[in-house]
Amino acid sequence: MNKVFKVLPLALLISGAVHAATDNPWYVGARVGGTTYDNLDGVIKGQNADKDDWGGGVFVGYNVNSWFGLEGGYTYLGQADYDSDGFEVQGIDLVGKFTYEMTDSFDLYGKLGGFVAFVDNDNVNDDNNNLAGTAGVGVEYFFNNDLSARAEYQYYNQVGKTESPGESDVHFYGLSLVYHWGAPAPVPVIEPEPEPMPEPVPEVVKIEPVGAVLPFAFDSNKLTQRDIELLQPVAKQLVAYPDTQLYVVGHTDSRGALEYNQKLSEERAAVVAGYVGDHFGIDESRIVAQGRGELEPVATNDNEEGRAQNRRVEVFVPGFEINQ
């Protein structure tokens, strides 16, 4: 039994594993390899036996969890030949399988359990059944989730009976092909409905008002070059923002008749409005022109300086806000 206890610490170490390379709990396989008999005892002790033969078997297993499984099956261990026949062993394995995942494709495992041995020795015309201890180690490579291959060694301790038909330890080393099945169907992952994107909050941009005051000479409705320069910012605002409107208001000083001054202020407003419309392509529907005559002075009409300030045309584009 010493060899069994030498393998036991390794099996307990392997039992600390936490993962398996396949999600399928069930598996079935077949194995084939070589066998070696040693420590012959009883009637076969001292015989000049051929201790090497071939062996194989089939097995089925179930992974209880990610690191531990139960495995059982039939194993033929060949025979140790001497004289005219030999000492032949076959039986049923029932072992625990302890798995450690080395990589995504490779597992290291150990086995520990019992072997119901059926021993037959035709040289002494005797047979025997006994329960022997067994332990093993191996490495398993997974081709995919359903198919794997093993290379393993398994030790069988004191198979047979000492007196008759004899007793021996048996070593098996071989290759296995294993098919796995039974994984539950994957649960479909239902992606949550995406949260609706919040409506963008428009940025409010404030456009400042633009205006100018155009001075006019006494009794004149003619635009000067200075007047045209003063109109440029106003015209740019009108071109840039097609929804804006232009307000044009003409004024005079107090010299002359009231009716005459009213008409002159309207002419001055019309001249400015016409220039802006013709030179900058501003539709007349966007221009409001009117005259106020001498009724709205901004300075005194008692001196020339004040009267010059009152002879004017005021142009104005109101400010507004836009969303961007």
pLDDT digits (tens, 9 = 90+) for 103-113: 989 999 999 99
Non-local CB neighbours of 114 within 8 Å, separated by 6+ positions:
93, 94, 95, 131, 132, 133, 134
Q: To the nearest whole percent, how much of the chain has pLDDT over 90?
A: 71
What three-state secondary structure class fits 217? coil
Asked whether the predicted pLDDT for residue 12 surpasses 70, the reply is: no
Question: Does the pLDDT value for residue 20 go beyond 80?
Answer: no
pLDDT digits 0-9 by tens, 212-239:
999 999 999 999 999 999 999 999 999 9
Q: Per-residue pLDDT averaged across 242-267, rounded?
A: 94
Instruction: State the burial class of residue 121 (Cβ atoms within 10 Å of its Cβ: 0-12, 13-18, 19+).
Output: buried
Q: Is 7 exposed, middle or buried (0-12, 13-18, 19+ CB in 10 A)?
A: buried
- What distances in angstroms separate CA 170 from CA 77, 133, 150, 161, 205, one per listed residue? 8, 11, 19, 14, 92
Residue 318, preceding peptide bond in cis (omega within 30° of 0): no
CATH 2.40.160.20 location in the chain = 2-181
* Cα–Cα distances in angstroms (integers) from residue 28 to residues 60, 104, 135, 173, in the given order: 4, 21, 19, 18
Give me the pLDDT at residue 42, please. Answer: 87
**Entry pTM:** 0.54
Q: Say yes or no to pLDDT of 26 above 80.
A: yes
User: What value does the mean pLDDT take over residues 40-66?
Assistant: 91
pLDDT in tens, 261-282: 999 999 999 999 999 999 999 9
Residue ranges matching CATH 3.30.1330.60 in the chain: 204-323
CA pair distance 54, 72, nearest whole angstrom: 20
| Pick among 3.40.50.170, 3.30.1330.60, 3.40.50.720, 3.40.50.10490: CATH of 204-323 | 3.30.1330.60
User: Looking up tokens 């009117």, which residue turns up?
Assistant: 290
pLDDT of residue 213: 95
The pLDDT tens digits of the residues spanning 80-94 come to 988 888 899 999 999
CA 291 to chain CA centroid, nearest Å: 72
Mean pLDDT of 171-197: 89
For residue 191, the model assigns a pLDDT of: 85
Residue 79 predicted with pLDDT over 80: yes
Residue 172 neighbours by CB under 8 Å, 6+ apart:
33, 34, 35, 55, 75, 77, 136, 153, 154, 155, 156
- For residue 60, the cross-strand partners are 28, 72
Query: Using CA of residue 212, residue 215, residue 220, residue 223, what is the dihedral sign?
Result: negative
16, pLDDT greater than 60: no
Of 73-77, 136-140, 201-205, 296-300, where does mean pLDDT reach its minimum? 201-205
Tokens 């390794």 correspond to 10
Nearest to 265 by CA among 288, 246, 293: 293
Phi, psi (5° rounding) for residue 14?
A: -65, -30
Cα atoms in the 13 Å half-sphere on the side-chain side of 24: 16
pLDDT confidence of residue 21 = 60
% of the chain beyond a pLDDT of 70: 93
Pairing type for strands 126-142 and 147-161 reads antiparallel
- pLDDT at 15 > cutoff 60: no
CATH 3.10.25.10 matches 2-181: no
Distance CA 239, CA 273 (A): 14
Sequence-ordered list of residues with C-beta below 8 angstroms from that of 33, at least 6 positions apart, any chain: 54, 55, 56, 172, 173, 174, 175
- pLDDT of 203 higher than 50: yes
How many other C-beta atoms are found inside a 10 Å radius of the C-beta of residue 143?
A: 10
Mean pLDDT to the nearest integer, 116-121: 94
Residue 73: pLDDT band (50, 70, 90) is: very high
Q: Are 320 and 200 in contact (CB under 8 A)?
A: no
68 or 11: which leads in pLDDT: 68
The dihedral built from the CA positions of residue 111, 114, 118 and 124, taken in this order, carries a sign that is positive
Each residue's pLDDT tens digit, 123-173: 888 888 999 999 999 999 999 989 999 999 999 999 998 888 889 999 999
Mean pLDDT of the residues in the chain: 89
